[in-house]
Amino acid sequence: MPSAFPTEYIEFKNDEGSSPVELLSKQLMFIGAAAVSLLCYEDESKKTYLLQNDPKYELVKQMDIISNIWSLATITGEPGIPQVLTSEDNAAPLIAWSVRLQTLFLGFRGTYSANDVLSGLDIRKTAIPSQASRFHSGSLLRATPYSALIRLLAQKYNVVVCGHSLGGAMATIAAYQALIQDYNRESVCNVWQVDVSITDTDDLGVEPNTNTSRRISAVTFGAPSMMVLAPTGTTAKLPDIFRQNFHHIINRADIVPFVVNDGINPSQ
């Protein structure tokens, strides 16, 4: 799981064309995404307490980045088949609200259980022609049910979809499917491409985004490959119009982001 916040190894000041407000917003969003991704691993009954009291979340608390957190039911099922709610493996995604950033975070837990390992190892390719895409089957199966949730949330709120390891793969697929089904380039910006306002809204009062331009960003940490490239015209390549919405942070010494690609050819 992530052990450091991204401000320690990302130079945010190098973003060309971003205003000082946008740079600050981006930095805070990345810290929030890292915190939510880490909280996904915590014991369900202790998450709120740890967010307020554990030293590793002190930066998040000091900067008032995360205001409230809620766990969701886990959704499983084949794409296109009615889904089932379950608490299996306590792998429920986490929703967090930031009053300061006026943003919702949807976080997915990374590899933790035997079922998670099996999902990560399922690198068979599944094609979805309507999305011009081919995905690793294990990640696709677990991520697809949440694309509808992201689409629903984005109707009212700025949304950051995040996760570590397998959770990052799920976040990428779910966000991609939400984007490709509902949006075009003109209607989707990153969440930090808007002024960050400090509000007096109560922690429990989630104020919807009244701007008609929806904002969705995916921020992942150590995510494995989840979309497979093949000859032109036969596979999914992340469309250029959505490239700006996906932000993958990796450590080159971490084998996870690369090991799945290394195993693709033998599996064929």
Residue with more model confidence, 87 or 224: 224
Measured at the alpha carbon of residue 184, what is the angle toward residues 180 and 216, in degrees to the nearest 5?
Answer: 70
Report the percentage of the chain scoring pLDDT > 90: 32
Residue 31: predicted pLDDT: 95
* Token couple for 148: 């509808």
Residue 194: predicted pLDDT: 58
Residue with more model confidence, 52 or 121: 52
Express each pLDDT in 230-259 by its tens digit. Answer: 444 544 455 667 888 989 888 777 776 666
In one-letter notation, the amino acid at residue 154 is: A
Residue 70: predicted pLDDT: 94
Task: Give this prediction's pTM.
Answer: 0.76
Burial of 20 (0-12, 13-18, 19+ CB in 10 A): exposed
DSSP string computed for 62-82: HTT---EEEEPPEEE--TTS-
Residue 200: predicted pLDDT: 41
Residue 7: predicted pLDDT: 66
Residue 42: predicted pLDDT: 92
Measured at the alpha carbon of residue 167, what is the angle toward residues 178 and 222, in degrees to the nearest 5?
Answer: 115
Express each pLDDT in 19-31 by its tens digit. Answer: 888 999 999 999 9
Instruction: Confirm if 41 and 109 have CB atoms less than 8 A apart.
Output: yes
- Beta strand 84-86 with 74-76: parallel, antiparallel or unpaired? antiparallel
Residue 264 has pLDDT above 80, yes or no: no
Instruction: Confirm if 131 and 177 have CB atoms less than 8 A apart.
Output: yes
Residues 6+ apart with CB under 8 A from 3: none
Express each pLDDT in 182-223 by its tens digit. Answer: 665 556 889 998 544 434 443 434 444 444 467 899 999 988
Residue 126: predicted pLDDT: 56
Q: Which domains does the chain have, with CATH numbers?
A: 6-267 (3.40.50)
Mean pLDDT calculated for residue range 100-123 = 69
Sorting pLDDT into bands at 50, 70 and 90, what band is 105? very high
Mean pLDDT calculated for residue range 224-229 = 61
List, in sequence order, every residue forming a beta bridge with 107; answer none if it has no partner: 94, 162
Residue 67 has pLDDT above 70, yes or no: yes
Sorting pLDDT into bands at 50, 70 and 90, what band is 147? confident
Residue with more model confidence, 151 or 111: 151
